[in-house]
Chains A and B, each alone.
Chain A
């Protein structure tokens, strides 16, 4: 069960990271008028609660405290992100933080994805000493 959670954690973490990069691409496409901003908005709401799944999987995978804190921070900033854009009418200066928070999400998503690989590696069986020595 824990092993499945570890692989699922890594898969979701990396998929989310790719999703964030694609989301930024759609933002650029929308701003330059190559397409509608609707694609960016739709994908944003699709990604909105994925970090909650990542956080639960990290917990199920038995990830360390540092990974859990990063995953929790990722959930928090991703949850706030679309709400900032909604505030454009009443609080435009707060809404202006939307792209800066995106940078934070990008960095946290990359960190969590990298940490997920460490969690998966912890699950891998130890290599025989002779094989490791031959590789060196």
Chain B
């Protein structure tokens, strides 16, 4: 991961205006608060021959995630834990969810569990799940009953 800031002042453009506004820190300006009741948030997508699951896992690496698939479901689990020095007493504000989590998803069609692959990067887990080939209808030609000697 490329580091920004820390020494060089790249991402901060700052203007020294009247630094008189002293209000309580922090004050929210705008924007909808995300629901923290569910962690992690995920999106399920579908194409003709596959499903894709995109899971938001900020702060987690691939080794922190356990993924299990069956023919029609997947279970992802893991833990996001606070560093020991980040005790609650030293925090002024705690909104980010921490703890052990697990989510199970039932898919609306069967998948080939052997063909499932997953990638993780920048706090996003992407899972690709190919659908099982549907059993296609096959036309069967009806033949005449063969009349064998002695049968009639």
**A and B held together in a complex:** no
Interface residues of A (CB under 8 A from B): none
